[in-house]
Structure 1
């Protein structure tokens, strides 16, 4: 029987990141978080964060609403702004934020946001979805 590389077989969320598989922006939801987060800061603050185990491109989508003034959102990687990734304005009526970033295995993608006016809350609502070309590694058999 041929030998297998255990690191590549058991690394997903067990013993750390892998560089053998590369993500591309795609239609598959590979991570999600349900929960509302809010800020009244006019400076960027971290609302949500996710660590990825595979390198490549990921797209984050998040619905926002605001009490009146709108706001701005952007993705950071490992707590820092990424060159070439620009902030996205969300109007006072609310809307969907969608942005892609290129990351290394083990990097953290941070959803940063700020309100346009400190007296108005800027809210990430509903489910945050992280998209990739990778497929989920599990299929539920029984529910």
Structure 2
């Protein structure tokens, strides 16, 4: 039996799929990878933080929208090798649905934030189209 002794650094992230009235909230990425592409709000889980707390924090930092942790439902973990060109990333995705869209405010590493109709989405960064589809299937 051969054992792989190479340690691979794994980075832990959280993403949010926020729905409202047939729309999904997306942010425009402000830097590489995928600078200028639209993506789900999300980012790194900080030391001592749960993924759901990170998801709520990143949503507020990147889009200016606060959703209580208790309102976020886990969609699943996304860990396919190659999903991020920076290396191995594992993301836990969460979803919530608002009764109506609220105006977003881009912040942190987002250059823009807006609601997109689910039937007219742009090309998304990373594997975010797969994450969005998984969240939509649960609603």
The answer, yes or no, to whether TM exceeds 0.5 is no
- TM-score with structure 2 setting the length: 0.28
Query: Which structure dedicates a bigger proportion of its chain to strand?
Result: 1
TM-score (norm 1): 0.28
Larger Rg: 1 or 2? 1
Instruction: Work out which structure has the larger RCO, using CA pairs closer than 8 Å and 6 or more positions apart in sequence.
Output: 1
